[in-house]
Amino acid sequence: MTLELRTPATVDPDWLTQALRIAGALPHGRVVDVTQQPVGNGLVADSIRFQLGYADAPPTAPASIVGKFPSHDPVSRKSGTDHLLYLREVSFYREMASTVAIHTPPAYAALHDPATDDFVLLLADLAPARQGDQLTGCSLDDAKVAMAEAAALHAPRWGDPVLETLDWLAVRPAALGAMVDAMLPTIIGLFRERFAGMLVPEHLALIDRLPAALIAMRGNRSAPITVMHADFRLDNMMFDVNGGARPLATLDWQTVTAGPGLTDVAYFLSAGISPAERRAHEVDLVRYYHSELLRRGVQGYVWDACWHDYTRFTLHGIMMGVFSALSVERTDRADALFLRMTEGACEQVADHDSFGFWL
């Protein structure tokens, strides 16, 4: 039985019945009614919550599920295709999710058409839950939970040589590096125009140093490689999921890649808590992450190496703030989000003189 791709407008009870039957979530009965509502803050894809009504179904059948589809916005859709975001997320759920320990919503279906780059993900609904909000930030308790989940992602595939041979995870994304290098000076110019007067000169000077540093960083292989989320931030997280059954679930695996795990840690701390809180607590939070790595079986990675990697892989936060701002649909919230992300990352980079590792 093969499940065909659908758009939100063409999802119907018969198709959902087939999808849940294939997934083993609906052994008998059928979906007879469905309503839908947009959900989440996704910038490169559209997410829809489907409320389901059944006939003759078991009590375990899901009352609702979340579907994820290509963005309706042409700018965001092009970005998703150009950077392999849709392919990567579907491939993560197909091939990778079961091999790492981080909590993600189980997938009932993960479909992708390589010819058109259309895709559908049908995911378990995590509601009731507390949605992370990048603009609001989070408590230190929430940040500690995120550190534990980062270790749960990184530890199981730590130093795994297979990762860099996977076409969708490492080979093809790495080939995009030259395109990013070529585009970045223009992107930085447009970013400066958009946020003129909003960034202090010291931050603008750091942003201007980014292209050369990224080239040097991309060619470096001195840190252990693992599965890296690469957009590990609050908007992609839900806390106290399913009414507190799990403390955190991480969503939006469109940027998943093979890289140094401390990049995720540095990126989260640059944007999830204020610069003042980060300065006061980042050593303790990174130490907790390191202890969780060791608890989960990582060997030979001493604390000094962990802290060294944390302080030098902070540039990712600036790159994500600058590049993403010009790659997705522009909204007031997106502008505020990318400005906050960039400012937090610049503060972090300045505190640790992170460019000094690369230039």
Classify residue 219 by burial, with Cβ atoms within 10 Å: 0-12, 13-18, 19+: exposed
- The top-level CATH class assigned to 8-124 is alpha beta
Q: Which amino acid is at 258?
A: A
pLDDT of residue 21: 97
**In which residue ranges of the chain is pLDDT below 70?**
1, 41
Q: Which amino acid is at 102?
A: I
Tell whether the torsion through CA atoms of 284, 290, 296 and 299 is positive or negative: negative
DSSP letters, 10-35, are G--HHHHHHHHHHHTS-SS-EEEEEE
Q: How far apart are CA 164 and CA 150, in angstroms?
A: 20
Q: Cβ neighbours of residue 59 under 8 Å, at least 6 residues apart?
A: none
Classify residue 13 by burial, with Cβ atoms within 10 Å: 0-12, 13-18, 19+: middle
pLDDT tens digits, residue range 55-68? Answer: 999 999 999 999 99
Cis-peptide into 128, omega within 30 deg: yes
**Fold for domain 130-357?**
Aminoglycoside 3'-phosphotransferase; Chain: A, domain 2 (3.90.1200)
Q: What are phi and psi of 9, to 5 degrees?
A: -70, -25
pLDDT of residue 170: 94
- What ranges do the domains of the chain cover? 8-124, 130-357
pLDDT of residue 1: 65
pLDDT of residue 270: 97
Cβ–Cβ under 8 Å, residues 46 and 70: yes
Residue 169: which of 93, 79, 248, 77 has the closest Cα? 93
pLDDT of residue 47: 95
Q: How far apart are CA 260 and CA 308, in angstroms?
A: 12
